[in-house]
Structure 1
């Protein structure tokens, strides 16, 4: 019996009434977690993975089948120790885990020999598979290990006695003769992702930072192919006539005729044509019989099934999988194997687990579906994904609200101020507010430390069901400015945070990290909305008297150069003073931009570092700066037409009893309800969507398009009463005592840049500096490695 038995029936058409039923999804008061047969993620999207799964370590990224398909070798590149895991495909059990100093993406079997990319160790590890176990056989070096060199090896392949491996750190391609160990290399035209040999020895390379793939004969480029943005994984037909390349940043797969050397098709992998970015196809494979192509949509948590025809591959349906799939393979017996980079759900971290090591990946086993089963799976995928095309122009209909439900409709709000802070959970700050769903035992920065934030939440709206889309700050500053995080950021941050050598290049300056459509400032410019930036995507000058540097070209004429970005030695109150100077000048000229983005980062704290302010003093300064800013705007002439949105970029530096993504946020405006609690499930993308609707801007990604706008927090009956700042209740200049807990360790931590401290240790230092008691023992994820680096 042929396991691949879908009848020739192009794209499954679902009824209009079915689509309408999906639009009625109500997120009021829903909490993340298991609900019936599905799981609600903290981002408001649903999971209902097909098949069965096995738990892996963090961020499983790639896999290779043994020649007899008895075993699957999986490489991991998450926050935990890099691993190669060997899975017995008959028993569905992990039979071996081998720790590596580093690993990133590249893995392939050549006979019984397994080759694994060593990432910033700048080597390729080789193993021999014998009697169901892997035995190390060699380490093939291409440069000195980090930090002496950082070529950062990625995808690889082997043909006869030749190993080819691409290096993302310096955009090079390397060959090694496995017999003589001689090497040669060339520079490429962009940052590579992976490479695949054809049977004739030609090598196809995908260029991650470009829109192209290149075909090489040795070191000579013989052809170039235009692809979509962020070309990643490559699949070749058995006859090498056709290649398929997944394009992560524009929801597509490129089909290439390698005989004629022409691109023959671009196939949409998203649920709807012309969807904005947000499907993120980052892996592709061909079934053994050559009849189907499968693409893994990382941010849609699904597979697109495409049927190959003489006119090209055509989508015929979707399969629901786990959270953020990174690899898909199909065995000869018709089993679909899927690596889910973030597993099957999110979790609370009331026991102080670190979010970066909580999300263990999974391996899914799915029987290749027939036509009826694929129809069922397709309906499930549509039900799981809240994005619908209509939401590009309008949101869920909510009349009589100052937040327009349709893009371009008028709003009484004309000025938006968007404040991004650093890393706090809801329970750490608001756990003492009885009106909301808090856990007072987890409070570190309660009302005594944050009187303004508490007063604002009480006077306006307490948001107790608000979640950061991000796990950590590298993602967070992208989600907070683009409502999206590219696969480059998702797959690169763990190497940086775990101290394995990757650069922190996630807040401007690295084109590969940028979404196709850019950030909120690009959107404003495109639609004629005035904007100004204060500290976001800004590199601080070591000399505080000199201008700082905007990391995105577009910001260079739209930012306050004297407003500092990340710098924990510079007070948030001083940041407020600089903002106020600039705001006052603009106000006098009637030139206040309609969109203002303001970074106030010091609630991150400097722990117990000698000479630094105490964690409570730093958070109290941050609170005072927030209070001063709200006070100033609310006493200004534009208050009647203003709204202030405040959120943490992520919630990684603390515990929360509902979900590790739950975070602190505020909305302030004459049009915000008073003395209210809003239990609606909101996200970073919800806040972005709300601001976009106010400004008449369309969504940037599927995530802000699908997000629930904050209608329930607003009212058409304004209250123009201004806010009066609360004076600090503790000493804003209190410094850490000599010998404070963790101070010796803090001397070794780098706080000059974001995301450079071991997060779990840092959290305990902050906890004990305030509580004076032992932090509850954290629960580590499977095969936990060193504590995670982060802000």
Structure 2
């Protein structure tokens, strides 16, 4: 069956018109699990942190997380999935799995420094070739004897050039030539590796960050999908000796600006340009003639930056990532654009895009993230893994329509069709989710309890469905994803019933200002698990109050009635909190995308789950890839952006304290207080954010106390929007990261691991104390959450985390049991500020109206000081030569100073005489 949809290129309807049409139809889309807690049911329906369900079709085996590589043996008996530093051998008849290395350490890993994507079988179905990833090698392994046979390095001389610091990406076996074709993402090249001599016979330059590789059926053409946007340069003149003194304090430019293209000067340093983001080497597909070892085509697939998609400018590259090649046509998935480009590689031309449709209520939005794909033997059908939709799309090539959807686990990455075309094999990054990782009765599994380990991936074995079965599957996928509820026409009564509109712009709201505070790495139970009115486990509340039992055994009893996070507890009790809130993310690199309205694409997923070594002075340009944790890189941008771009398009004012200042290669010293970072590798920032970001606020850097950030925030807020002439922006974002934790530093005021949380708790209390004493408070909402939960444990789910809401229109003393996630937070922001949704997670997020009341309570919040036995803020601020004036802090913000205003008035009078 063909699913309905509409073409973004062909349809002339603007987003504003679509937005108005949505209001007229008045249908509220929400995830189906709005009243459920996360759970895993291996034989039934699992509830994900997103509130979506997964009901994987066919048979399922749970395997190690993030199986980014998948190959089927020629004899059809075995599959190998490749993870980071791990591979799994699966018997395809029984789905019995053998993990290498085994948990009992009897089977050793042949992968010394991780791995990445590439896996291929030899014709004998016994030998398998594995990407060695960071060490730049190809591993040859015997599955019969379960032992490594060889490790072949890509480094060394070839064609008069010596290559170093290779990083093995995808690979394909060319059996006819007894060779491997291998991508080296470190040196941006395609390597031909002779399996007889173990020598590299050719090195062919390709595009940036080559990711996927395919071979034409006649073995004459290799196609390479490149996901990189730029080759990131260093500051001009940088050397290992002067690097520390040459760094600049911030990102040098906004993306796709004259400065980023041509270069600029920042803080007296000469900053090289990056060139055009639409350059041929950026986010493209290269065709290589294997007879001549020459690149014959550089195809720019999907949508280019600067194009207009309806009324929105494209700001993110297509991210062409996976390939399927037929006798004349090749197909590449463009993750950012939710489509597939058709390439006539025989005649060297593009034939347009196949949009993937799922439902007319969602097709307007992005977020399907097509990743792996496979082509039927008759070349009439494509099967496409939708990383963001927990489904495989079945696409009819001739009509360019989506026939239907097959339900998968969470985050499908790869799909393969058996040789007899009767069975599909599908891997998913996160399988059925994580489940609990601590608490009463919890038994730790062999893989461990860290969120990235306890959360297993999956492999499915699914009979290829006929039309009737596919229709049933499609209906199930959509039911797993969202529920549509008609809304009654808005009336005068409904307009004042709840301050949170059901849709953007649907009803007026008294809330005019939102402060969005994001913290780092904590779960619900470890901070709020003691609250009896909610679903918590007090035995895990190591960061609560009266929690000295969580200290090392020798120190218990020495700190009676220890208070680590009294302000979190007070905010929860005075205002409202959720005990059913989950981060969609596992770790920071995901979290800083999700919470700012960008769904992590296939590059983020793959790159964040691989061991990699930065070598910023290497001649291998791929080794300078930023690989960010606290920022988005140009490789990660969504088609029309996320939160920042959505606000800018709507001309809604915003300002940022701390987000987006970090890249993986930056310096984070205690003195880097301007933005928390020192930058040497030149990476742009999203252009919408660049001019709206403080250069006097420290982002992620646990060497800097959160008390310093509170001081910076109070000072700049006062200068700009209290004593200054400007009005507070509609949205202010604040990063408050020290609950992340770090090593103990008694001399700096952090004698215990819990000290970082105490610092964070006090700073949060200070900010709320300050904000609630400003004139903006009467129309303010404060949202407090974490970017990810990876540092903690929880008895419901390892993704369960903190969501606190505060403000006059937030219910007092309220606990919400309604499901919430980042999509729900963003829906709250967009609905209040009348900003159209950007992606399908915003559109289907839970509506959190239960948090709000139409009867305001304007009483301010009063902070609780920290327990100085665990964190002494004066000690933490000592190295900066700044003492905290608690009298001034407790008094609240300085408004217009009457004496200063009087003096200024008379000075001005004298000038005019």
TM over 0.5: yes
Aligned to 2:712: 578
Cα distance in structure 2, aligned partners of 1:551 and 1:732: 39
Deviates more, 1:406-415 or 1:324-333: 406-415
More moved, 646-655 vs 134-143: 134-143
1:434 corresponds to which of 523, 528, 532: 532
Is the CA contact (8 Å cut-off) linking 1:195 and 1:203 kept in structure 2? yes
Deviation at 1:39, TM superposition (A): 1.2
Alpha-carbon contact 1:483-1:704 (below 8 Å) kept: no
Query: Once the 2 structures are TM-superposed, how far is the Cα of residue 341 of structure 1 from its aligned partner?
Result: 1.4
Measured in 1, the distance between the counterparts of 2:122 and 2:215 equals 12
Structure 1 553/292 Cα, relative in aligned 2: closer, same or farther at 3 Å?
Answer: closer
Alignment match, 1:204: 223
Structure 1 match to 2:812: 674
Q: Is the 8 A contact 2:342 2:350 kept in 1?
A: yes
Cα distance in 2 between the residues matched to 1:595 and 1:280: 28
Q: Which stretches in structure 2 are left out of the alignment for 5+ residues? A: 6-24, 102-108, 157-162, 229-281, 303-317, 546-562, 616-622, 678-682, 874-913
- Of residues 515, 524, 527, the one that matches 1:417 is 515
Change beyond 3 A, Cα 1:354–1:545? closer
TM-score after normalising by structure 1: 0.84
* Aligned partner of residue 324 in structure 2, secondary structure: strand
Which residue in 1 is equivalent to 2:782?
A: 644
**1:233: which partner in 2?**
322
Q: What does residue 222 of structure 1 align with?
A: 296
Given candidates 659, 670, 694, the residue that maps to 1:536 is: 659
Aligned to 1:742: none
Please point out which of 394, 408, 428 is paired with 1:305: 394
CA contact (8 A) 1:348 1:656 kept: yes
Residue 85 in structure 1 maps to residue 88 in structure 2: yes
Corresponding residue to 1:61 among 43, 68, 91: 68
User: What is the match of residue 369 of structure 1?
Assistant: 465
Matched, 1:473 2:588: yes
Return the offset for 1:643.
0.9
Give the drift of 1:521. Answer: 1.8
CA offset digits 1:136-172 (Å, max 9, x no partner): 332220128xxx9543211111322332211223322
Compared CA separation, residues 24 and 595, structure 1 to 2 (3 A): closer
In the TM superposition, residue 12 of structure 1 has moved relative to its aligned partner by 8.0
- Find out whether 1:602 has 2:738 as its counterpart: yes
Question: Does the Cα contact within 8 Å between 1:349 and 1:355 map onto a contact in 2?
Answer: yes
C-alpha displacement at 1:233, in angstroms? Answer: 1.5
Is it true that 1:97 corresponds to 2:100 in the alignment?
yes
Mapped partners of 1:277, 1:224: distance in 2: 26
Corresponding residue to 1:315 among 398, 402, 411? 402
- For residue 58 of structure 2, the aligned residue among 51, 58, 75 is 51
Report how far residue 518 of structure 1 moved: 2.5
Change (3 A) 1:355 1:95: closer
- Displacement of 1:496 after TM fit? 4.4
| Counterpart position of 2:2 | 10
Q: Would you say the 8 A contact 2:598–2:637 is kept in 1? A: no
* Residue 547 (structure 1) shift: 6.0
Per the normalisation by structure 2, the TM-score is: 0.73
**C-alpha contact (below 8 Å) 1:647/1:684 kept by paired residues:** no
Aligned residues: 707
Aligned pairs for 1:641-720 (under 5 A) are 641-720=779-858
| Residues 33 and 53, structure 2, Cα contact 8 Å, conserved in 1 | no
Secondary structure in structure 2 of the residue aligned to 1:435: coil
Counterpart of 1:136 (choices 101, 124, 148) is 148
Instruction: Provide closer, same or farther for how the CA distance between residues 456 and 523 of structure 1 changes in structure 2, counting only shifts above 3 A.
Output: same
SS in structure 1 opposite 2:476?
helix
Tell me if structure 2 keeps the 8 A contact 1:283–1:327: yes
Distance in 2 (CA, whole Å) between partners of 1:499 and 1:91 is 41
- For the structure 1 residues 732 and 581, does the alpha-carbon distance in structure 2 shift closer, same or farther, using more than 3 Å as the test? farther
* Aligned CA distance change for structure 1 residues 169 and 560 (closer, same or farther; 3 Å): same
User: For 1:671-710, what per-residue CA distance to the aligned partner results, in whole angstroms no more than 9, with x for missing partners?
Assistant: 1011111110101221121112111112222112211132
The answer to which structure has the higher strand fraction is 1
| 2:583 and 2:801 in contact (8 A); partners too | yes
**Which residue of 2 is the match for residue 564 of structure 1?**
698
Residues of 2 paired with 1:559 and 1:729: CA distance?
33
Once the two structures are TM-superposed, the CA of residue 186 in structure 1 deviates from its matched residue by 3.4
Task: Name the CA shift for 1:551/1:564 in 2 (closer, same or farther; >3 Å).
Answer: farther
Q: Is the 8 A contact 1:12 1:316 kept in 2?
A: no
Bigger mean CA offset, 453-462 vs 170-179: 170-179
Please give the alpha-carbon distance, in whole angstroms, between the structure 2 residues aligned to 1:93 and 1:267. Answer: 37
Residue 345 of structure 1: CA displacement? Answer: 3.2
SS at match of 1:523: helix
User: Is 2:267 aligned against 1:152?
Assistant: no
Counterpart in the other structure of 1:341 = 429
Report the CA distance between 1:580 and its aligned residue.
0.6
Measured after TM superposition, the shift of residue 530 of structure 1 is 1.5
1:627-679 per-residue CA deviation (whole Å, 9 max, x = no partner) reads: 11111111111111111111011111111111111111211111101111111
Match among 374, 392, 399 for residue 285 of structure 1 = 374
Q: Is residue 86–residue 99 contact of structure 2 (8 Å, CA) maintained in 1?
A: no
Which of 193, 196, 199 aligns to 1:179? It is 196
Superposed displacement of residue 356, structure 1: 0.9
8 Å CA contact retained: 2:4, 2:359 = no
Q: Answer yes or no: is the 8 Å Cα contact 2:26–2:486 preserved in 1.
A: no
Q: What RMSD in Å do the two structures reach over aligned CA positions?
A: 3.0
| Residue among 490, 495, 501 paired with 2:605 | 490
Structure 2 contact 627–633 (Cα < 8 Å) conserved: no
For 1:362 and 1:509, how far apart are their aligned partners in 2?
Answer: 28
Note closer, same or farther for the CA distance 1:431–1:378 as it changes in structure 2 (3 Å cut).
Answer: same
Partner of residue 285, structure 2: 213
| 8 Å Cα contact 1:294/1:305 also seen in 2 | yes
Q: What is aligned with 2:365?
A: 276
Contact 2:382-2:394 within 8 A present in 1 as well: yes
> Over residues 534-582 of structure 1, what are the superposed CA-to-partner deviations in whole Å (9 max), with x where a residue is unaligned?
1111147743465666961533321221211122222111101111110
Does the 8 A contact of 2:34 with 2:820 survive in 1?
A: no
Contact 1:42-1:346 within 8 A present in 2 as well: no
Asked if the contact 1:127–1:134 (Cα under 8 Å) also holds between the matched residues in 2, the reply is: yes
Which one has a bigger Cα radius of gyration? 2
* 1:541–1:371 CA distance, 2 compared to 1 (3 A): closer
Aligned to 2:478: 382
Residue 73 (structure 1) shift: 2.1
The corresponding residue for 2:137 is 123
Tell me, in whole angstroms, the C-alpha distance in 2 between the residues paired with 1:390 and 1:507. Answer: 39
CA contact (8 A) 1:548 1:562 kept: no
1:27–1:497 CA distance, 2 compared to 1 (3 A): farther
After superposition, the Cα gap between the structure-2 partners of 1:24 and 1:141, relative to the gap in structure 1 and judged at 3 Å, is closer
Look up the match of 2:331.
Answer: 244
Q: 1:169 to 1:618 in 2, by over 3 A?
A: same
